[in-house]
Structure 1
Amino acid sequence: MSKVYGDGTVAVGGLTLDVPAGELVVLIGPSGCGKSTVLRMINRLIQPTQGRILIDGDDVTDVDPVELRRRIGYVIQNVGLFPHQSIRANVGTVPRLLGWKKDRVRRRADELLELVGLDPARFGKRYPHELSGGQRQRAGVARALAADPSVLLMDEPFSAVDPIVRGKLQEEFLRLQAAVGKTIVLVTHDIDEAVKLGDRIAVLSEGGKLEQYAPPGELLAEPASDMVRDFVGADRGVRRLAVTPLSTVMRKVGPGHDTAGLPSVPDTGTLYDALAAMLTADALHVAVRNRDRVVGTVSRSAIFEAPADAIAR
């Protein structure tokens, strides 16, 4: 698809992209590369100049745009909650528009507030101004999921909160995605956020040109162009550690192996977690735990020698 404005400005030029069902795809690139335009063309807030957009094989241009938007969840940077409505009413907006009965709308709203970590008994009757930025963002995600859309669009959803809250929201969102398994297209400027959240990352350059489309580890290990290499940064090797599982270099140990005094990380962690624990404790090894049981060790030298294709995704 492409979008060319009347003055000849090419916002998106001939973009072809396949988003697998159930995956989270991140669109990233410099300002003005058409990321948000792509998102808005998917739900027809912006009409493509040419091309097609298919969801499960159905062309969205054949669907009434209002009905289409009710079937696609949309989360924006500043949440966009209605200030005059309670949080419960905000979450139930689309189900009400779809004609759901009041009891069903309330049950669905409370179910989703619980899912995103907001106690409905405590937060349901509150208004947006009574919530923190992180809590409002969670409520925005709940509202986008209310009608159980097959596709969720997210335009820089966590950029308006401070770094600590942002990290917590990202962790919560990964937990939520593991539970609901939505097909998600997310826009961000933050390469660390893209690497942390994305199953695949699409790097766009000016004019909506697709420079590379790959899993995070592959993108960091093998940038496809100078533009991608510059964008992901010279420290991409460190970022790659954050998407490389411990199992790629872990040495298994038996019950009698002495790991006393070693810093430890969970076996669900990454090489980045292991290196951080070693540097903090000034240690050369780290113990890998499965709950309360040590299952292996990772050495600092093994991390530095990890093969480039040892990636989590």
Structure 2
Amino acid sequence: MDRTPEADDAAQKKAAPIELVGIRKQYPDGTVAVGDLSLEVRAGELVVLIGPSGCGKSTVLRMINRLIEPTAGKILLDGEDVTRVDPVQLRRRIGYVIQNVGLFPHQTIRTNVGTVPRLLGWSRAQVRARSDELLDLVGLDPVQFGRRYPQELSGGQRQRVGVARALAADPVVLLMDEPFSAVDPIVRARLQEEFLRLQEDVRKTIVLVTHDLDEAVRLGDRIAVLSQGGKLEQYATPADLLGRPASSFVREFVGADRGIRRLAVTPVTRDMLEPLSGDHDGYPEAELGSSLYDALAAMLVTNSDHALIAENGQPVGLLTRHRVLSIDYPAD
């Protein structure tokens, strides 16, 4: 699709790294929302910010696109200090998805999705083509939904539109503030699954804020746990966070059931398997690379001590219930 020169410049990179260097936010009354936070996010990585209410996670997100101005420190987007960039131009390079979507109620869904491309000066034909492309990408038929209005869609559908709108100008960074919290648990799980598939396609740099640990573990490549004042308590992969809490704060925050959560992010690998032997008919099956949680669930449902592990439909070994339950957990 042809684009304007400004759109071409913005879309030269699919994703860009973010680096926060000693950022601080202190309000005039002396309240310190974020004290001294340094954090790096690799290009194409999905990083989740999580912590108790009031820890500054949403403030951090809004400082990245300068909806809130930092008091001190640097925020580097692809090496460029965003505090020295025109904030309006900056926000046109960054997608932003919020909890209640924020769609314009008197505009059609297609018009909502095309908001930023229109601001960038794309032609009407280009905006329509891009809007329809993104609606299709998030699972909404543009013929069926393009001319509807936000109030004619369900909560989950509106959330999809919000994601499509945020991606419309092909931003290098996507910021998401509690994007799935306003829908019921069933819809939320479906949206999370669809979002992971979407990220496989678009591979953007994403910073996502949530209060839901299960959501953080499911979505994040890495998770940053913040305490009051935006203090970084731990920055790690989901498996490392659950298996090796860095402090008593993190241990308490992730909860006593972190071992169960860790099973959900630990894949079945060949070194866990016993060789095939004897008759294994009737054993539940799981795929190599699936989670230990899923494999254990299959064993429990069938009251079996073994699961037959397959790769591309071919059995490769047996996983025992004992092996799942004896996974190495560091002592508290």
- Does 1:270 find its partner at 2:301? no
Return the letter of the residue paired with 1:172. E
Deviation at 1:249, TM superposition (A): 5.0
- Cα distance in 2 for partners of 1:205, 1:150 equals 28
- Does 1:109 find its partner at 2:131? yes
- Cα distance in 2 for partners of 1:20, 1:150 equals 12
- 5 Å matches for 1:224-235? 224-235=246-257
TM-score (norm. length: structure 1): 0.95
Identity of aligned residues (%): 70
- Cα distance in 2 for partners of 1:173, 1:223 equals 27
Deviation at 1:291, TM superposition (A): 4.6
- Cα distance in 1 for partners of 2:281, 2:127 equals 54
2:306 to 282, 285, 308: 285
Return the letter of the residue paired with 2:291. T
**Cα RMSD over matched residues?**
1.5
Residues 101, 159 of structure 2: 8 Å contact kept:
yes
Structure 2 portions without partners, runs of 5+? 1-22
- 5 Å matches for 1:134-145? 134-145=156-167
Deviation at 1:127, TM superposition (A): 1.1
- Cα distance in 1 for partners of 2:280, 2:196 equals 31
- Cα distance in 2 for partners of 1:193, 1:167 equals 9
Q: What secondary structure does 2:58 align onto?
A: helix
Residues 248, 306 of structure 1: 8 Å contact kept:
no
Moved over 4 A (4+): none
Deviation at 1:234, TM superposition (A): 0.5
TM-score (norm. length: structure 2): 0.89
**More deviation, 280-289/31-40:** 280-289
- Cα distance in 1 for partners of 2:157, 2:310 equals 32
- Cα distance in 1 for partners of 2:278, 2:141 equals 44
- Does 1:214 find its partner at 2:214? no
Deviation at 1:260, TM superposition (A): 1.9
Q: What do residues 93-124 of structure 1 show as CA deviations (whole Å, max 9, x unaligned)?
A: 10001000111111111111111111111111
2:315 maps to which residue? 294
1:64 to 86, 92, 95: 86
Structure 1 portions without partners, runs of 5+? none
1:13 to 35, 60, 82: 35
Q: What secondary structure does 1:78 align onto?
A: coil
2:172 maps to which residue? 150
- Does 1:123 find its partner at 2:138? no
Residues 262, 283 of structure 1: 8 Å contact kept:
yes
Return the letter of the residue paired with 1:297. L
Against the structure 1 CA distance between its residues 205 and 248, is the aligned structure 2 distance closer, same or farther, given a 3 Å change threshold? farther
Deviation at 1:61, TM superposition (A): 1.1
- Cα distance in 1 for partners of 2:271, 2:184 equals 34
2:9 maps to which residue? none
- Cα distance in 1 for partners of 2:82, 2:153 equals 35
Against the structure 1 CA distance between its residues 163 and 248, is the aligned structure 2 distance closer, same or farther, given a 3 Å change threshold? farther
Against the structure 1 CA distance between its residues 3 and 281, is the aligned structure 2 distance closer, same or farther, given a 3 Å change threshold? same
- Cα distance in 1 for partners of 2:289, 2:111 equals 38
Q: What secondary structure does 2:316 align onto?
A: strand
2:46 maps to which residue? 24
Return the letter of the residue paired with 1:260. D
1:260 maps to which residue? 281
State the aligned residue count: 308
1:236 maps to which residue? 258
Against the structure 1 CA distance between its residues 139 and 301, is the aligned structure 2 distance closer, same or farther, given a 3 Å change threshold? same
Q: What do residues 161-191 of structure 1 show as CA deviations (whole Å, max 9, x unaligned)?
A: 1111111111111111111110000000011
- Does 1:33 find its partner at 2:64? no
Q: What secondary structure does 2:47 align onto?
A: strand
